[in-house]
Amino acid sequence: MEGGQMTELPAQTSRKMGLVIDLDTCVGCHACVISCKGWNTENYGAPLSDQDPYGADPSGTFLNRVHSYEVQPEQGHAQLVHFPKSCLHCEDAPCVTVCPTGASYKRVEDGIVLVNESDCIGCGLCAWACPYGARELDLAEGVMKKCTLCVDRIYNENLPEEDRVPSCVRTCPAGARHFGDLGDPASEVSQLVSDRGGMDLMPEMATKPVNKYLPPRPKDRIEDQIDILAPLLAPVAEEPAGFLGWLDKALDKLPVGNS
Amino acid sequence: MHPAPSVIIFTTLSGLGFGLLAFLGLGMPSVTGWVAFVFYAIAYALAVGGLLASTFHLGHPERAWKAFSQWRTSWLSREGCAAVSTLLVMALYAAGAVFLEADWRLLGLLGAALSIGTVFTTAMIYTQLKTIPRWHSPITPMVFLSFSIAGGALLAGRESLAPWLLALAGAIQLIYWAKTDKALAQSGTDIGTATGLGDRGTVRAFEPPHTGSNYLLREFVYVVGRKHALKLRVIGFALAFALPIALMVMPFSGLMLKHLMAGLAVLLHIAGVACLRWLFFAEAEHVVGLYYGKR
Amino acid sequence: MNPEQLDRYIENGGFHVSHIPDAALYYKPWNTAYQDWAVGMGLYDKPEPYLFQLYVEPLRKFQLAAEGYGERQPPEHLRERIKATMDPLPIWYETDQQGNAGFTVNALTQRPMAMYHSWGSQNAWLRQLHGRNPLYVPTKLMRENGLSDGDWARVSSPHGEITVPVMEMAALNENTVWTWNAIGKRKGAWALDENAPEATKGFLLNHLIHELLPPKGDGLRWANSDPITGQAAWFDLKVKIEKAAPPDGIAESQPAFAPITSPVDTGPKDLKWKVGK
């Protein structure tokens, strides 16, 4: 992690590591939020602090937060979509070029955007430049904090292999978060993006975000009235034969507790 | 944007200070000895005072010296370098004027150019940000430069020039408001593009990600009531331009009264610029507010 | 059986790890490997796989008794209820609406998922996610009552009344309101500041729900619970909603009770945990 000319964006990075967030599967449980907060209270850099944590106006530094939106189509029901948001590790990251000290930088080897906490003067300009709200000033430490893509997990040989992914990805109970190289078209995350039409946030800002969002899948699309259950609800014969006959006999054999 | 007092003080005072330095560098007025000393003292007090004030909003002001290193990419770094260069060059020029009754013309011109350059780099810090559509316009640097030059003329005692420059700055301020009031709406950025869900229907922010406040809400989602903002625009405009122009052009009898009115004009102008700078920040809409449904 | 049990605990620092074998990790209710391992650990006395019966024979036995069959007969005042509710197949029926005239809106609660990500013993982080809970009201009811986001509403049931903040939710059944459980807290509870949002804006639906159903006029009141399981019938709650002014100009959820004194101090004003290193 050199200082000096690091706030020039690398012309190219060897890999484009990032996250794919599935808006169809996310249930809005905030496990990723807390997992991230916990991991980053212990490891990379200064701990994420809280102010007035037990008081009337608690607030604190979080790197990943989950919003909820309602989408009302022209026809049909409104849909609730849960929306996790953290640093998108943009290819053309405006937060890197505005930094006056070189504390904000993008790594050449994997494209991860990080803050060098000993160089950061806490001016906040990177947060002004970020359209996505990925950076927060930690009030206790006076430096800017952001998602590190768990750079201290993904290469950490002291962790079992299945844990060498970002903490939020590891913990998501719905399997809505995926991690990998978005620069490799054959990677699992790239396949997801092409299969599901993964999208950029605020593409008009020209940040070229690496993280992609998978839109909710279409729902409630049965055009004709298909009564799936109708054949099964037809009256059964008096003496059931075949499969039903077998089922009838098998049910009789089940124990029914203290009868 | 949260109008941080330190940033408002910084841009107001240093804009004036560098404006005055520009006029001094141009030899307008061409002063020497004690008179020069007073002029330069005022200019440096404003410029350096402003710069010092800006360090108060840093998380680590003791590391501020590191901010000179990224001038290749960062406007904030360029501003630091330009400011220090200006102050050094003009210190030499000032020394010549105060102690040696000298007027090293080329040095003065260089200093004046650097002064204007410093104000320009300051403006570019805000102009470069696509995230604040209102600021992302060529008019923004014109606002900063015209304010600085007009204020500098006022402080430098340019009686005939100052009213015109104030009028110009006032006109640019009005154009800025007219043009940038629609900036967010015309930017093509809305909650639909922010979430990527815009093509599925009308998007509405439902539950926020946290029920309390956080850095993003405090810094970037500052809301000024429209009526309140309008009142402040009128007051700011009057203090910064209308009243100073009036005081400068009205014929007063007696040199003492004239000087007093000119002094008053300066004070009113400073108050007005501070008010307008407050509005510059308070009315700036950052697109991150879209995620919170606050636009 | 284990004479040195306590000594063993002390010897091991009160700590023991036993990993569930790989084959026993999934489908535990029906996984022989798990069941055997659990018996070995003393979690069960014998293997106890779950059996789901769609047709529940024991219920049918109760229903038959209520229909008059068999020697064991139910008390007369319960006969009809048993006949109606102890159906061996899954059924749905509208609950007894006696006393619910005018209360036509369903009111539900949901456990907040985010509050389960607990670590350590306090929830300093979680209360930033859910520090207060509005009543979520569908669009139709918001419009009918002239409500918009941030307004207050009086919600009443046959049993009680609360005054709470509302928030519009379009993706919601048009005749149902709901809120999160367990966010609202009494002032001073949990060693939190008395002005914590949990106490001033948070609220519970508890005040609207009684343990007993309304009097039946025969001196009896049945439990407000499911007749089979005894589960408290919270989801049968029916309410009425109308717009209200912010209570007493103080804008705190009602009912509000006097603060309780905490046996412990409130927590620190700043948290900067560096666990581990």
Strand boundaries in C85-237, DSSP class E: 105-110, 135-138, 152-156, 161-169, 176-180
- Please state, in angstroms and rounded to a whole number, the distance separating the CA atoms of residues B1 and A124: 12
For B51, the token pair is 């710069």
Placement of tokens 């412990």 in the chain: C264
Residue C96 confidence (pLDDT):
82
Residue C15 confidence (pLDDT):
83
With an 8 Å Cβ cutoff, are C129 and B206 in contact? no
State pLDDT tens for residues B56-76.
Answer: 889 999 999 999 999 999 999
- Which chain B residues contact residue C167 at CB under 8 A? 206
DSSP secondary structure of C180-213? ETT----TTGGG--TT-HHHHT---SGGG--SBP
> β-strand A104-106 against A113-115: which pairing, if any?
antiparallel
For B9, the token pair is 């003080």
Q: How confident is the model at residue C94 (pLDDT cuts 50, 70, 90)?
A: confident
Residue A28 confidence (pLDDT):
96
Residue A182 belongs to what domain range? 5-214
A233 within domain boundaries: no
Nearest to A54 among C119, C200, C266 (CB): C266
DSSP secondary structure of B232-288? HHHHHHIIIIIHHHHHHHS--SSHHHHHHHHHHHHHHHHHHHHHHHHHHHHTPPPGG
Residue A14 confidence (pLDDT):
87
Q: How confident is the model at residue C134 (pLDDT cuts 50, 70, 90)?
A: very high
CA angle at B261 for the pair B260 and B267, rounded to the nearest 5°? 95
What's the rounded mean pLDDT across residues B136-151? 97
- Which chain C residues contact residue B214 at CB under 8 A? 128
pLDDT at B129 over 80: yes
What's the rounded mean pLDDT across residues B128-134? 97
Q: Is B201 on the interface with C (CB under 8 A)?
A: no
- In 3D space, the residue among A36, A39, A61, A26 whose CA is nearest the CA of residue A174 turns out to be A26
Say what the alpha-carbon torsion angle A32, A37, A43, A44 is, to the nearest 10 degrees: 90
A250 within domain boundaries: no
- Please state, in angstroms and rounded to a whole number, the distance separating the CA atoms of residues B112 and B97: 15
pLDDT at B295 over 70: yes
For C140, the token pair is 């139709």
What angle do helix axes B139-155 and B5-25 make, rounded to 10 degrees? 60
Q: Kindly give the residue spans of alpha helices, DSSP state H, lying in chain A.
A: 31-39, 94-97, 125-129, 151-154, 167-171, 188-196, 230-233, 242-253
- Please state, in angstroms and rounded to a whole number, the distance separating the CA atoms of residues B183 and B187: 6
With an 8 Å Cβ cutoff, are B207 and A68 in contact? yes
Residue A232 confidence (pLDDT):
74
For B199, the token pair is 């093509």
Placement of tokens 């930690």 in the chain: A138
A199 within domain boundaries: yes
A255 within domain boundaries: no
Q: Is B209 on the interface with C (CB under 8 A)?
A: yes
With an 8 Å Cβ cutoff, are A58 and C124 in contact? yes
**Bridge partners of C106?**
C176, C238
A117 within domain boundaries: yes
pLDDT at B196 over 90: yes
Residue A234 confidence (pLDDT):
67
With an 8 Å Cβ cutoff, are A54 and C193 in contact? yes
Residue A239 confidence (pLDDT):
66
Domains in chain C, please, with CATH? Answer: 5-41 (no CATH), 105-249 (2.40.40.20)
Q: Is B196 on the interface with C (CB under 8 A)?
A: no
Residue C161 confidence (pLDDT):
95
Placement of tokens 């141009």 in the chain: B26
Placement of tokens 């206790």 in the chain: A140
What's the rounded mean pLDDT across residues C72-96? 92
What's the rounded mean pLDDT across residues C261-274? 86
Question: How far, in Å, are C5, C10, C134, C258 from residue C14 at the CA level?
Answer: 11, 6, 44, 42
Q: Domain residue spans in chain B?
A: 1-128, 160-295
A119 within domain boundaries: yes
Structurally, chain A folds into a number of domains equal to 1
- Which chain A residues contact residue B197 at CB under 8 A? 23, 69, 71, 81, 215
For B118, the token pair is 């410093």
Backbone torsions φ then ψ of C231, nearest 5 degrees: -60, 135
Low-confidence ranges of chain A (pLDDT < 50): 1-5, 257-259
With an 8 Å Cβ cutoff, are B211 and C128 in contact? yes
Write the DSSP symbol of residue A106.
Answer: E
**Bridge partners of B202?**
A72
Q: What is the mean pLDDT of chain A?
A: 90
Residue A103 confidence (pLDDT):
96
Percent of chain B with pLDDT over 90: 89
Q: What is the mean pLDDT of chain C?
A: 90
Tallying the residues shown for chain A, one arrives at 259
Residue C99 confidence (pLDDT):
84
Residue A250 confidence (pLDDT):
82
Range of weakest confidence among A109-113, C47-51, C121-125, C133-137? C121-125
Q: Is A51 on the interface with C (CB under 8 A)?
A: yes
A156 within domain boundaries: yes
For A119, the token pair is 């160089």
Give yes or no for a contact between C142 and C154, defined as CB atoms under 8 angstroms apart.
no
Q: What is the mean pLDDT of chain B?
A: 94
- Which chain C residues contact residue A62 at CB under 8 A? 128
For A94, the token pair is 């405006």
State pLDDT tens for residues C193-209.
Answer: 999 999 999 999 999 99
Residue A6 confidence (pLDDT):
54
- Please state, in angstroms and rounded to a whole number, the distance separating the CA atoms of residues C77 and B124: 84
Give yes or no for a contact between B57 and A121, defined as CB atoms under 8 angstroms apart.
no
Q: Is omega for the bond preceding C58 within 30 degrees of 0, making it cis?
A: no
Give yes or no for a contact between C127 and A58, defined as CB atoms under 8 angstroms apart.
yes
The number of beta carbons lying within 10 Å of the beta carbon of residue A229 is 7
Give yes or no for a contact between C270 and A51, defined as CB atoms under 8 angstroms apart.
yes
Q: How far is B99 from chain A (nearest CA, A)?
A: 37
DSSP secondary structure of A194-250? HHHT-B-SSGGG----S-EEEPPPP-----S---TTHHHHSPPPSS--HHHHHHHHH
Q: State the pTM of this model.
A: 0.88
- Please state, in angstroms and rounded to a whole number, the distance separating the CA atoms of residues A198 and A175: 16
**Residue A107's CATH number:** 3.30.70.20
Nearest to A34 among C53, C125, C266 (CB): C125
With an 8 Å Cβ cutoff, are B211 and C130 in contact? yes
- Please state, in angstroms and rounded to a whole number, the distance separating the CA atoms of residues A121 and A103: 8
